[in-house]
Amino acid sequence: MLEPRAGAAATAVTVDLTAVIVAVTSGDPRLLIVGGDGADRLPAGPLQPEHPTLQSGLRSWVEQQTRQKLGYVEQLYTFGDRCRTLSASGVERHHRSLSLAYLALVREARPAGGGTGLWRSWYEFFPWEDWRAGDPDARRIIVDRLLAWVQEAGHAEGRLRRERADLLFGLGEVAWDEERALERYELLYEAGLVAEAWHDRGQEPPFSIVGGPGRAMAADHRRILATAISRLRGKTKYRPVLFELMPPSFTLLQLQRTAEALSGVLLHKQNFRRIVENQRLVEETGEIDAETGGRPAKLVRFRHEVTLERPAPGLRLTTAKRGSPLTQGG
Amino acid sequence: MLEPRAGAAATAVTVDLTAVIVAVTSGDPRLLIVGGDGADRLPAGPLQPEHPTLQSGLRSWVEQQTRQKLGYVEQLYTFGDRCRTLSASGVERHHRSLSLAYLALVREARPAGGGTGLWRSWYEFFPWEDWRAGDPDARRIIVDRLLAWVQEAGHAEGRLRRERADLLFGLGEVAWDEERALERYELLYEAGLVAEAWHDRGQEPPFSIVGGPGRAMAADHRRILATAISRLRGKTKYRPVLFELMPPSFTLLQLQRTAEALSGVLLHKQNFRRIVENQRLVEETGEIDAETGGRPAKLVRFRHEVTLERPAPGLRLTTAKRGSPLTQGG
DNA sequence: GCGATTAATGCTCAAAGAGAGCATAAGGGG
DNA sequence: CCCCTTATGCTCTCTTTGAGCATTAATCGC
């Protein structure tokens, strides 16, 4: 049997803990961002020996950098393929860095007093992902550029590119699938339509890209964010994670708006309530919210019996009709 | 702003790449295992600087240890909470080790010539997960012990334990949910019903546990395996991963047997075919398999147009009736 | 107080999907 | 030819979605 070569094992590896911290406030899915100077960054810090667990290391970095306490936390993905060669003072060292990304959900976006934290809508980074006000302009711009990228390629490669573009950006017959946010970002990266693709190659992105749709982030943070969006959009459908983002009591419409904020699509109101009620995810508090602007709504709270249990504790989102996105019926 | 303390960043971290390699042969989901001497281990090796990517590092370790080439590979989870204190020659160093686990699917279980690889059914490690021949004996034994563990606790804690046991092991009204394999393992670990729980505490497990249901593995490899099982059982329902395990052409029953092998439950034959056909996942090769023992079956192949595409490329498994698991109708 | 506006909430209806089972077809072995 | 085995076709019911109509209960402007 071939044993691992012991001598080569002493690789210098640093591990970064990176957090995507999500809250939904007044209908916007917001991220906690740090780094006022250069590009936007996600809160992150190196794993240290005094951290008893990975999660506790993450929590302590986040608190240190943003004063935000984390509630729900789940591991997202470990990134490490990009061999980031840190050339410090001429010495180019081949230093491997892993980035362990976590998704955290918190209840409300306080101004993050003290730290340099700043809440930003995630749609600033992914404007093409927000369909709540209809087909976003950003998507059309992107589609034009993608088609140009399809043209650039040879016949066979061009067909593949075309098919991916169609599939991911809902061209032709294909419907928009909000869960594919990560794949969409990766396609844009390959096509050179996001600034990060140029930076990673050591090039300056052309003006059309810099000024193009979607704010760039430092390093691969926008990719991490895309991973988080895809994960979260998928997970709400089969686990009651939405409630991690809600205050203790809320109306059904508020819950719906939160679901819509994350998914980026509008939902059919009556069907949404039907699902929430059928699955017995919430119970009435007995109180009434009169601030609705119309008929007052009953306040509900999440049924804690369900918290992490039950076979089908998810929330299958049933999207509203495409046509007129702002009418009641859908 | 509080900056990461640069001095403390130079933590010694080694990163292990660990592979759960799955094949399905003659109706059994098999794992590639190494380590003929002590406990069974998954193929693994440390990440090294010459590995251009994490995945390529994994592939090279696996090939070195088992001569098995990997096809489909996906990241599973990064484990690192257990601060494994390696006490080598009296010097107890607080050395942190991350374990990056991957799931790989391969087509057939060759004898793994050359390496020390060995294929084992994953149900040797998780006998309670196999319901294909009805409610497994192992589950009943476990349930008895779990109920004792519930008794040990105080009132409040006991109720929580009871609820988890009911939910995960299908007691009372609750149906068996095959996707919860990881949660089940974690419950057993907490309850001290798997040998690893005792080893990790530095204790010798009592005979009833050692001889109890389910073969133990080295370190946390059985937990990694449970993660893989849960992931795979979930993923087959919405992505066409099954095909990674199939030969180039196969009959629908063979496909069904593979799905059953992974999920551990029997499926309703006619409904299974209906789904596969409706989703247009396969196409006929035109050939016939006469080896079926009954009426010859058409051979089909996976439609490559669908490979990573299409909105609904999954395979929602529709389970057969509980009652008589071996009759045709279910 | 009155009508317009805005939501909340109740119900209906058709289409699609899932669950279960009957029936027939087509091989091999006696 | 009968029996056994598996493949394959079809039906039927019940549930789940998707879409929309209708009613109720507040606020706002007058």
pLDDT at B293: 81
From residue A126, alpha-carbon distances to A35, A139, A229 in Å are 19, 10, 10
Q: Degrees (nearest 5) of the Cα angle B309, B315, B321?
A: 175
pLDDT of residue B322: 41
Q: Count CB neighbours of B30 within 10 A.
A: 22
Q: Give the pLDDT score at A10.
A: 45
- Chain B residues touching A42 at Cβ < 8 A: none
Q: What is the pLDDT of residue B3?
A: 42
- Tell me the average pLDDT of chain B: 84
pTM of the model: 0.88
Residues of B in contact with A96 (CB under 8 A): 47, 49
Q: Counting beta carbons within 10 angstroms of the beta carbon of residue A198, is it exposed (0 to 12), middle (13 to 18) or buried (19 or more)?
A: middle
Residues facing residue B23 across a β-bridge: B30
Q: Does residue B313 have a pLDDT over 60?
A: no
DSSP bridge partners of B17: B45, B100
User: How far in angstroms lies nucleotide D7's C1' from the CA of residue A275?
Assistant: 39
> According to the model, what pLDDT value does residue B158 have?
93
Give the span between the Cα atoms of B39 and A224, in whole angstroms. Answer: 37
Model pLDDT, residue A13: 78
The angle formed by the CA atoms of residues A288, A294 and A299, to the nearest 5 degrees, is: 20
Share of chain B above pLDDT 90, in %: 55
Task: With a cut of 70, say whether residue B113 has pLDDT above it.
Answer: no
**pLDDT score at A111:** 60
Contact state of A11 with B310 under an 8 Å Cβ cutoff:
no
**Can you give the three-state secondary structure of B206-232, one letter per residue?**
CHHHHCCCCCCECCCHHHHHHHHHHHH
pLDDT band at B320 (very low <50, low <70, confident <90, very high): low
List of chain A residues whose C-beta atoms are within 8 Å of the C-beta of residue B98: 15, 98
What average pLDDT does this structure show over A82-91?
A: 49
pLDDT at B278 exceeding the cut of 50: yes
Residue found under tokens 């309530």: A273
Report, as an integer, the average pLDDT of A104-131: 84
Nucleotide minimizing C1' to CA distance for residue B329 = C21
pLDDT of B88: 47
For the CA atoms of B165, B169, B172, B176, what is the dihedral angle to 10 degrees? 140
- Between CA B202 and C1' D16 the distance (Å) reads 51
pLDDT of residue B191: 95
On the question of pLDDT at B8 being above 70, the answer is: no
pLDDT the model gives residue A173: 78
Which of A11, A64, A96 lies nearest to residue B2, judging by beta carbons?
A64
> pLDDT digit string (tens) for B167-183?
899 888 788 999 999 99
Q: List the B166 CA – C15 C1' distance (angstroms).
A: 37
> In which residue are the tokens 């393929």 written?
A81
Tell me: pLDDT of B270 over 60.
yes
For every residue of B293-309, DSSP letters joined together read: SSS-EEEEEE-GGGTT-
Q: Which residue has the tokens 């080694």?
A: B14
Least confident of A192-196, B184-188, B237-241: B237-241
Please give the pLDDT value at position A14: 84
Minimum CA–CA partner of B3 in chain A: A65
pLDDT of B212 above 60:
yes
Nearest Cα of chain A lies from the Cα of B166 at a distance, in angstroms, of: 10
- Is residue A192's pLDDT more than 80? yes
Neighbours of A62 (CB within 10 A): 29
If you write DSSP's letter for every residue of A218-251 in order, what string do you get? STTHHHHHHHHHHHHHHHTTTS-GGGGGS-SSB-
Task: Please tell me the distance from the alpha carbon of residue A206 to that of residue A216, in angstroms, as a whole number.
Answer: 13
pLDDT tens sequence across A252-309: 999 999 999 999 999 999 999 999 998 888 999 998 887 767 788 999 999 877 655 5
Q: What rounded mean pLDDT belongs to chain A?
A: 83
Between A174 and B36, whose confidence is greater?
A174
Q: What is the dihedral of CA B174, B178, B183, B184, to 10 degrees?
A: 80
Question: Of all residues in chain B, what percent carry a pLDDT higher than 70?
Answer: 82
Between chains, do A96 and B46 touch, taking CB under 8 Å as contact?
A: no
Closest residue to D16 (CA, C1′): A275
Residues of B with CB under 8 A from a CB of A: 1-2, 4, 8-15, 34, 45-50, 52-55, 61, 64-65, 75, 77-78, 80-81, 83, 94, 96, 98, 100, 115-116, 163, 167, 174-175, 177, 309-311
pLDDT, one tens digit per residue, over B118-162 is 899 999 999 999 999 999 999 999 999 999 999 999 999 999 899
What mean pLDDT do residues A196-214 have? 86
Nearest-by-Cβ selection for B48 from A11, A80, A167: A11
Residue nearest to nucleotide C11 (CA to C1'): A270
Q: Write out the residues of chain A at the interface with chain B, using a CB-CB cutoff of 8 A.
A: 1-2, 4, 8-15, 34, 45-50, 52-55, 61, 64-65, 75, 77-78, 80-81, 83, 94, 96, 98, 100, 115-116, 163, 167, 174-175, 177, 309-311
Best probe of the A interface among B3, B5, B13, by most A CBs < 10 A, is B13
- Average pLDDT of the residues in B78-100: 65
| pLDDT at position B198 over 60 | yes
What tens digit of pLDDT does each residue of A138-181 get?
999 999 999 999 999 999 999 989 989 998 998 887 889 999 99
The answer to whether residue B50 scores a pLDDT higher than 70 is: yes
Please check the confidence at residue B91 and state whether its pLDDT lies above 90.
no
The H-or-E segment that residue B284 falls in is strand B282-289
- How many Cα atoms within 13 Å fall on the side-chain side of residue A325? 14
> Which residues does chain B have within 8 Å of residue A115's beta carbon, measured at their own beta carbons?
1-2
- So what's the pLDDT on residue A11? 56
Q: How confident is the model at residue A222 (pLDDT cuts 50, 70, 90)?
A: very high
Question: What are the beta bridge partners of residue B15?
Answer: B98
Residue B324 has pLDDT above 60, yes or no: no
pLDDT of residue B114 exceeding 70, the answer is no
Mean pLDDT of B108-122: 74
Give the per-residue pLDDT at B7: 39
Query: Least CB-CB distance to A48: which of B11, B115, B163?
Result: B11
Partners of residue B163 in chain A, C-beta under 8 Å: 309
CA distance B239 to chain A (A): 13
pLDDT number for residue A252: 94
Partner residues linked to A209 by β-bridges: none
pLDDT for A132 equals 93
- The per-residue pLDDT for A56 is 93
Q: Which residues of A touch B112 (CB under 8 A)?
A: none
What residue is closest to C21 (Cα–C1')? B329
Q: In angstroms, how far is C17 C1' from B270 CA?
A: 14
Give the 3-state secondary structure of residue A73: strand
Residue A195 in this model has a pLDDT that exceeds 80:
yes
Residue B292 has pLDDT above 80, yes or no: no
Residue-wise pLDDT for B229-269, tens only, equals: 999 999 998 888 999 999 999 999 999 999 999 999 999 99
